[in-house]
Amino acid sequence: MTAPSDAGDHRSPRLEGSDDSRQPDDSCLHSRLQEMSSRLEALEAENHLLRTLVDTHPDILFIKDAKGLFRYANRTLTDFYGTSREDIVGRDDSHYTGNTEQSHFFRRSVEQVLSRFERETVFEDATDGTTGEVNHFRSIKQPFHDIHGQPLVAVLAHNITTEVREHERKTRQIDHIYDTSLEGFWDWNILTSSVTHNRRWSQILGIPESELSNSLEEFASLLHPEDKPEAMIAIQDCMAGKTAYYHRHRMLTRGGDVVWVIDKGDVIERDSEGNPLRMIGSITDITRIVESEALLHQHSRFDSLTKLANRATLIDSLQQAIIITDARDTHGALIFIDLDHFKKINDLLGHTTGDHLLIEVAHRLSSTVRDSDLVARFGGDEFVILIQPLSHDPQIACRELDELMERLQQALNQPYSLLGPQSQPLQHHSSASLGSIMFHDRHLSAEELIRRADIAMYRAKEAGRNQTVRFDPSMRVELERAVQLENDLRRAIENEELYVELQPQFDRGLKLVGAECLLRWRHAKLGNISPYEFIPLAEKSQLIDSLGDWVLEQACKLLEDWQKGTAFARLYLSVNVSVKQLDSPHYVGNVAKALSQHTLDPQYLQLELTENVFATDMPATVARMHELRSLGLRLSLDDFGTGFSSLTYIKHLPFDELKVDRSFVHDLENDEMNRRMVNFMVQLGRELGMCVVAEGVETPRQRELLLEMGCDALQGYLMDKPMAIEAFTAKYQLG
């Protein structure tokens, strides 16, 4: 179908069967004229319909002459260039983009199409006349002649910018993995039974790439005969959806040598009936590890990223240091270090840059301490330094410790030369909070010394960060309180000291759509205890399972009451779930039992999981999440942006809702970068088909910005604060 042209003459249709030599009577002439008028009206209507169709088409449609000048353009193109149809006719692209080189490219393209006079499909770029942004298009170019015989080119251009950028991003990731990985990657097309590999796979097995047949039969032939049955069963279990593929076995090289590998993978594509179509994975050569248990033990003692001692090595060394200082009447010390605002590095610059910073910090710490001291990476952005020996004189030992902490702080405060996104060099300024404790005898265990140094470090953070704090005996009050609260918490349910508050959630029209259950503890003697204090205690003391089961039971009772024909029958109720609960093999069964004991529609019960689930055993976590989802309830990704989320995992997990963490909402009004991050989160959630909820909304401007970004629901003190169940019912019963 050719787009209608504004230019050109409109010739009257020839009257079929007319004869100039004969004069028709008046009635015949009148009939012919009416017929012509009807045809013209039909043509006009068809022309209007075609113009409307072309103008409302989401793709760009235009016609150019042999000089590359526009003869016609639909509204999509004129909007793209920020102009009108009347203005664009007779001009070329450079008039709107200012890019003459691009205009010359388009003109040459027209000439080439006209010279071959065949339809062509090409990929090309164009500059948005409004934003200046370069867009990518898939264009179909069709040459034709107008009614005057003038050669023209009609172009249909589909904007594929989003697809191109996503493809480029994935290609960069894949290329990086394939180019730098020490693992042998494989990709199995189950329908064709063909398997492709990277270079490392062939290197591990000593097979030249040119000799690979890339078939499943070849893989099976390379399996050690004794390991082959179990390996094939593991693959079949994975294909059946029982579990991810993970197997340790032997493989045979062409020379007959044995290579021990860990082979792991999973099905990433299935058809509509659940049959597997594609499976990818990798093999890791563990031959040396298997052959040398001593080497395995050595590797298990050091952090793989920083090459520092790990936590296990630190604790063993600290236990020995306690004995030595006691025997030699000297002092030792422990310094606990936590990098300030390290999470923002990962959020803004990426985990690769964050890893580079950790490596540089490790180097500076090691270069600052003495040879007799031990530097360990305790986990994440936490480091611990074991200092020994210090003077037997406590005052001199304190001075030595303070001087060392000052040198460490100075070293960590120096600028860092890092590689940012796209390997761009950047200068980064960072700081750290340091807490320390001295020890002299066997009075305290290694775990207790680490705990006290940790407390001192958090005091340094509370003092404004970039501080050094030595543990003071007065801080024991905190320890004693923690122990007392832990004991009291064990009896809190029995003593009926726990209760639930509800914080309402509202949709875009500020209509009540649900509430979040918030656990509260009213201590018999101490009054209200903050959940920020007792929830971590519950997780450390394994009490979180019983607390979580209690809250779930309260939520089920409440939903059952609501769904008995009340105004709350269609309200969602959210319950927070600790990663410790999800780690339990009994958790899914506990949830199923709670649901079975109440008459309720489970789709209105929502479990909120934090991003910490991504730092656990992913195959087991994913399996439990799917089991929970099969019970009919909803899953929410809570506190998004504050933890360990991976986009690779998120898109494959059965989340119904994404909650933007309050820390991002808090800075929404004054921080442009923060606004961009929140907007990205909202768009990500919507693209993945999730309901997006923002929590911690406290100002009208925050609400306005979040609604503009497309947030589906809001929660925060601006709308309403948490309240007792009775107060919630009384306030919203008539809403």
Closest to 694 (Cα-Cα) out of 655, 673, 708: 708
Summarised one tens digit per residue, pLDDT across range 164-183 is: 888 888 877 776 766 566 78
Summarised one tens digit per residue, pLDDT across range 405-448 is: 999 999 999 998 887 777 778 888 888 999 999 998 788 889 98
Q: pLDDT value at position 209?
A: 77
Looking at domain 492-732, its CATH architecture is Alpha-Beta Barrel (3.20)
Q: Return the residue matching tokens 């064990």.
A: 490
Summarised one tens digit per residue, pLDDT across range 556-593 is: 999 999 998 778 999 999 999 988 888 888 899 999 99
Q: Residues with Cβ < 8 Å from 429, sequence gap 6 or more? A: 413, 415, 416
Q: Return the residue matching tokens 């050719």.
A: 2
Closest to 429 (Cα-Cα) out of 409, 417, 415, 418: 415
CATH topology of domain 181-291: Beta-Lactamase (3.30.450)
Summarised one tens digit per residue, pLDDT across range 278-297 is: 999 999 888 887 777 545 56
SS3 655: coil
How far is 57 from 214, CA to CA, in rounded Å?
A: 45
Task: Name which of 42-56, 389-403, 675-689 the model is least confident about.
Answer: 42-56
How far is 326 from 598, CA to CA, in rounded Å?
A: 61
How far is 523 from 487, CA to CA, in rounded Å?
A: 12
What percent of the chain is predicted at pLDDT more than 70?
91
CA angle 312–313–316, rounded 5-degree value: 85
How far is 245 from 454, CA to CA, in rounded Å?
A: 39
Summarised one tens digit per residue, pLDDT across range 206-227 is: 888 778 788 888 888 899 999 9
Summarised one tens digit per residue, pLDDT across range 110-146 is: 889 999 999 998 888 877 656 778 888 889 999 999 9
Helices 531-540 and 476-492, axial angle in degrees (round to 10): 80
Q: pLDDT value at position 10?
A: 43
φ/ψ of 724, rounded to 5, equals: -65, 155
- Per-residue pLDDT band at 499 (split at 50, 70, 90): very high
What percent of the chain is predicted at pLDDT more than 90?
42
187, containing H or E segment: strand 184-189
What tokens were used for 669?
């009004």
How far is 148 from 9, CA to CA, in rounded Å?
A: 10
Q: pLDDT value at position 58?
A: 87
Domain boundaries, the chain: 27-159, 181-291, 301-471, 492-732
How far is 89 from 96, CA to CA, in rounded Å?
A: 12
Other C-beta atoms closer than 10 Å to the C-beta of 377 total 26
Summarised one tens digit per residue, pLDDT across range 7-60 is: 444 444 444 444 444 555 677 877 777 777 778 777 777 777 777 777 888 889
How far is 493 from 488, CA to CA, in rounded Å?
A: 10
Other C-beta atoms closer than 10 Å to the C-beta of 183 total 19
Residue 4 has pLDDT above 70, yes or no: no
Q: Return the residue matching tokens 């990704």.
A: 637
Query: What value does the mean pLDDT take over residues 497-509?
Result: 94
Whether the domain at 181-291 and the domain at 492-732 fall into the same CATH topology = no
- Model confidence, pTM: 0.44
- Per-residue pLDDT band at 228 (split at 50, 70, 90): very high
Pick the CATH number of 27-159 from 3.30.420.40, 3.30.450.20, 3.30.930.10, 3.30.460.80: 3.30.450.20
Q: What is the CATH number of domain 301-471?
A: 3.30.70.270
Query: What value does the mean pLDDT take over residues 640-666?
Result: 76
Q: pLDDT value at position 16?
A: 44
Average pLDDT of the chain, as a whole number: 85
Task: Name which of 55-59, 111-115, 265-269, 638-642 the model is least confident about.
Answer: 638-642
According to DSSP, residue 192 is labeled T
Q: Residues with Cβ < 8 Å from 355, sequence gap 6 or more? A: 305
How far is 16 from 488, CA to CA, in rounded Å?
A: 102
φ/ψ of 380, rounded to 5, equals: 60, -120
